[in-house]
Amino acid sequence: MSIPWIVKYRPKRVEEVVGNDDSKKKFIEWIESWVKGEPIRKAALLYGPAGVGKTSLVEAVAKTYGYDLVELNASDQRSETIIKRIVGIAASQGTLTGSATRRIILLDEVDGMSEEDRGGLKAIVEVLERTRQPIVLTANDAWDPKLTPLRSVCLMIEFKRLKQWEVVKKLRDICLKEGIEADREALEFIAKRSEGDLRSAINDLQIVAQGRMKITIEDVGWLPYRNRIEPIFDVLSIIFNAKTISTARRALSLIDIDPDMMFEWIYENLPSQLTDPKDLAVAMENLAKADLIRSRVKLFQRWDLLAFATEIMSGGVAVAREATKPRWTPFHFPERIKFLSSIKEERGVMDSIASKIASRCLTSKRTVISDVIPYILFMLMNNPDYGVKLLRNYDLTSSEIEFLKGKVGVGVVEAPRKRGRSAGG
């Protein structure tokens, strides 16, 4: 796996851009009016949430209709002079009909222009009035006050979040092409979480699919933690690519993370990052040393030694890299922590269920778990409707009821135990 899937599966043709059919149609009509030499409007402003295919559509349309794309995106400098120069030249060359090169000028994410770019916005409006080439602007928030002067001169085309099934369908296509078998629930989970942002859904899918040919609902459960772990990815990428020990060590100070946790992250990702066997062996050796120091720190409460452990687990890994070629490989969540957190979460849910039932039955949570839950599961298995009704009476939430129903499905249900096996109960 070497390139990000959002790049690999970037739509090349208009038909590959999913969803927002009316907006796509409106945009195509607009560009066709340019092709005919009778433009409806000089510029179009495509607006809406991120990751729904605005930029991709412009690129695909340019290709389909034989336009070169001159693109200025948010990361470029867009001061007044630059805009006037680049856009001005591009927009004035050629005639409306039969010019040598046809260009679409794309000013991506104009709402991202800063206050200092004010002059840039003014320049855009001027260019829009004179342009002889189609100009496309995109924005997340078209109602941003600073875009007011643009709104009246542009054809406004709104893009909405993609529907869950549209995202699922695209994810399924990708899985098919990658030879990955994915459960429907797993893809639905990713799609729902993405809130109609296909870019983030595809990124999630790629991270989850790392090293797997099959994806189940269990594999995606940790994704909600991802926002918290994005900074960890940055740190890992510095550590695995650092040329010096001090760079690697400094990376650790960028985030506030427990060294044990960081250790797990490095350990988990090391084999996929340092693919050369010798590099890997050296790095593992160093990691083992760090681990040894870590355990001494805890055993003898020698916190003064901790710095050595962190130095070796970061710098020791960085310097091990000699023969491994640089290439992009996604990081993945430490399996050991995933396992522990799923157990912890499960305990939490069970605890909440038990305490609700315990307060109604005037007994302890322990008794509920050992003696009442088995009956409930038995009931859920044999008469689910009645079981659910009963649980509602105990004020269980739907997700807690789902949790118990899940236990029925996996054969955890045993016949209820007979009481009186111990006096304590």
Using the rule CB under 6 A, give the single segment among 48-56, 142-150, 286-294, 387-395 that binds ligand ADP: 48-56
11 binds, among Mg ion, ligand ADP, none (CB under 5 to 8 A by kind): ligand ADP
60 versus 413: smaller Cβ distance to Mg ion: 60
Task: Classify 411 in phi/psi space as left (phi over 0), alpha (psi -120 to 50) or beta.
Answer: left
The SS3 of residue 422 is coil
Q: Which alpha helices (DSSP H) does 180-329 contain, by range?
A: 184-194, 198-209, 217-220, 226-241, 245-252, 259-273, 277-299, 306-318
Cβ-contact 158, 188 below 8 angstroms = no
Q: Which alpha helices (DSSP H) does 117-216 contain, by range?
A: 118-130, 148-151, 164-178, 184-194, 198-209
The reply to whether 39 sits near ligand ADP by the rule CB under 6 A is no
Please name the residue that has the structure tokens 């029925």.
Answer: 408
Using the rule CB under 5 A, give the single segment among 51-59, 260-268, 293-301, 358-366 that binds Mg ion: 51-59
Which of 23, 55, 206, 273 binds Mg ion (CB under 5 A)? It is 55
The reply to whether 9 sits near ligand ADP by the rule CB under 6 A is yes
d(CA 401, CA 225): 24
Cβ 104 to Mg ion, closest distance in Å? Answer: 14
159 versus 394: smaller Cβ distance to ligand ADP: 159
The reply to whether 56 sits near Mg ion by the rule CB under 5 A is no
155 versus 297: smaller Cβ distance to Mg ion: 155
Which of 23, 56, 286, 324 binds ligand ADP (CB under 6 A)? It is 56
Cβ 112 to ligand ADP, closest distance in Å? Answer: 11
316 binds, among ligand ADP, Mg ion, none (CB under 5 to 8 A by kind): none
Sites for ligand ADP among residues 123-182 (CB under 6 A): 170
Size of the site for ligand ADP (CB under 6 A): 19
52 versus 376: smaller Cβ distance to ligand ADP: 52
d(CA 180, CA 172): 9
CB-nearest residue to ligand ADP: 53
Element (H, E) at 70: strand 68-72
What's the Cα-to-Cα distance from 73 to each of 6, 136, 138, 415, 423, rounded to whole Å?
17, 12, 10, 64, 74
Cβ 48 to Mg ion, closest distance in Å? Answer: 10
Element (H, E) at 215: strand 214-215
First-to-last C-alpha distance (Å) of the chain: 55
Using the rule CB under 6 A, give the single segment among 16-24, 186-194, 258-266, 343-351 that binds ligand ADP: 16-24
User: Which positions touch ligand ADP (CB under 6 A)?
Assistant: 6, 9-11, 16-19, 50-56, 170, 198-199, 202
